[in-house]
Amino acid sequence: MSKKNKISLSEEQLISALRNREKIAIEALYDMYSGSLLGVISRIVIDEAIAEDVLQETFIKIWNSFQSYSAEKGRLFTWMVNVARNLSIDKVRSKDFKNQNKNQELEINVTFIDEQRNTVYNPELLGVRDLVEKLKPEQKSILELVYFKGYTHVEAAEELAIPLGTVKTRLRMAIMQLRTYFN
């Protein structure tokens, strides 16, 4: 039913539709970004049902506080992923969540999520294997911690027991790798 017409707009079109509060913007927003955002949310909020709740909260927040997004300061997705990450971290740290769940510490368990979610991964994606091979394990883990799990680079340095400077370089190297791969 939903597959019949997935809506896709250019980023500029989407931004102006969001600004004008057009209904089409809602659908386009969901169809274009729900997967990527849920990918980030699920790394932090492990529970599937709660992650889906957070995704909903994320879209509502994006919709309601869209006026605070400034296109000059960066891409739409960068802003949205920050919203999603912050809401996820809030959720994990909330009393509610801690009472409901066995308090699942944010662990460095890079493979944990992958194993759990492997079956849901978009199978149409091409080149993932190539990418994984190109990223060194240390680069992959730093991206996992900082980009997906919302660690600050200070927290990541503590967690990995490496100097702050090393975290920064590693992060930059990892992103450079991604850039040569994607761009």
Q: Which residues bind other proteins (CB under 8 A)?
A: 1-2, 19-21, 23, 26-27, 30-31, 34-40, 42, 52, 55-56, 59-61, 63-75, 77-79, 81-83, 85-86, 90, 117, 120-122, 125, 127-128, 131, 143, 146-148, 152-153, 168-169, 171-172, 175, 178-179, 181-183
CB of 19 to other proteins, least distance (A): 5
Sequence-ordered list of residues with C-beta below 8 angstroms from that of 6, at least 6 positions apart, any chain: 31
Q: Which is nearer to other proteins, 94 or 101 (CB)?
A: 94
Q: How far is the CB of 61 from other proteins (least distance, A)?
A: 7
Contact 45, 54 (CB under 8 A): yes
The rounded distance, in Å, linking the Cα atoms of 16 and 147 is 27
Distance CA 146, CA 3 (A): 33
Q: Which is nearer to other proteins, 21 or 136 (CB)?
A: 21
For tokens 């761009």, name the residue.
183
Smallest distance from other proteins to CB 120, Å: 5
- Burial code (b: 16+ CB inside 10 Å, e: under 16) for 64-99 equals eebeebeeeeeebeebbbebbbebbbebbeeeebee
Nearer of residues 1 and 161 to other proteins, judged by Cβ: 1
CB of residue 68 to other proteins, shortest distance in Å: 4
Distance CA 87, CA 53 (A): 10
Residue whose C-alpha is closest to residue 118's, from 134, 105, 129, 104: 129
For other proteins, the closer of residues 102 and 123 by Cβ is 123
| Nearer Cβ to other proteins (131/162) | 131
| Minimum separation from the CB atom of position 48 to other proteins (A) | 9
